[in-house]
Amino acid sequence: MSAVVIGASGGIGRALVEALEEEGTTVRAFSRPELDILDEKSITAAADSLKAPPTLVIVATGVLHEGERGPEKSMRELDADWLARTFAVNAIGPALVAKHFLPRMPKTGRCVFAVLSARVGSIGDNRLGGWYSYRASKAALNQLVRTVSIEEKRRNDRSIVVALHPGTVDTRLSEPFQANVRADQLFAPGRAAVQLLDVIDGLKAPDSGRIFGWDGAEITP
């Protein structure tokens, strides 16, 4: 198996690279500036640089807070620029990765394209409100995954396109929001990576287009 990890400089991305290499998998790791999720030309160049079709591609990028910006607690905090930024990073970027990397994956046999999403992107599971831009951008990502999976099935009927929720992982992304997380529900990056790879290993073709948590349970869109 050969794998590609995009966002390899982040906490989960770096742990995924290490876990895959420990399993003996050949890994091509991409991070900025070589691949900038907001720059389609860099995505195209990265895909073109692959020497062989990867059987696994994981997009481990995302933004929850940046500088003084973070999850909105109410509608009063909605800001057009921040909404656009979160959609660009969390939804548009991964969609463009799919556009350029999926055609380079095998046309026959099992292969997996996975993006890191979030449970809070579930519309059916939203009972608390708030976090407008993050929720909406992840919901958009989940819809993009579903739509891409339908088209990809026509290219390779054993290809699997999924969104994965890693849980709360001890990284910079979740650091400001860890105070109320139970100790047994805050995962070290290494553990999170192994859990995600276990889920990926168990996926079958009918799972394409769906959203799964770190424990393998399906998440309502």
Per domain, the residue ranges of the chain are: 2-213
Q: 3.20.20.70, 3.40.50.720, 3.40.1400.10, 3.30.470.20: which CATH number matches 2-213?
A: 3.40.50.720
Query: Is the model's pLDDT at 170 over the cut of 90?
Result: no
Query: Is the model's pLDDT at 94 over the cut of 80?
Result: yes
**pTM of the model as a whole:** 0.95
Query: Is the model's pLDDT at 171 over the cut of 90?
Result: no
For residue 29, list its beta bridge partners: 5
Omega into 33 within 30° of 0, i.e. cis?
A: yes
| 80-99: b (≥16 Cβ within 10 Å) or e | eebeebbbebbbbbbbbbbe
Query: Is the model's pLDDT at 29 over the cut of 90?
Result: yes
Tokens of 148: 């891409």
pLDDT (mean) for 201-205: 98
Which pLDDT score is estimated for 44?
A: 98
| Close Cβ partners of 48 (under 8 Å, ≥ 6 residues apart) | none
